[in-house]
Amino acid sequence: MAQKKKQTPKININKKWCKQNCGICSGFCPKNVLEIGEDGKPYVKDPEACSNCGLCELRCPEFAIALEGAEHD
């Protein structure tokens, strides 16, 4: 039986909606996929590590993060 390859979700961050220096998304990420950049906004540091838990999307108070390409586990 062939193993199914894990599909890496695409993490979309709408920087216009994001509040600078909030840090909630990176704080809740259990795999440290997101990091806060020098501009005070999040960026995807390690997309391959994403477990698709959806906590970043769920916890963002500004709805600035959306996961695409995989169903939430």
CATH code for 10-68?
3.30.70.20
Decide if 24 contacts 59 (C-beta within 8 A). Answer: yes
DSSP per-residue string spanning 20-60: TT--HHHHH-TT--EEE-TTSSEEES-GGG-----HHHHH-
pLDDT of residue 73: 47
Within 8 A by CB and 6+ apart from 57, the residues are 65, 66, 67
Which tens digits make up the pLDDT trace of 19-72?
888 999 999 999 999 999 999 999 999 999 999 999 999 999 999 999 987 555
The Cα 53–Cα 21 span in angstroms is: 22
CA diameter of the chain: 47
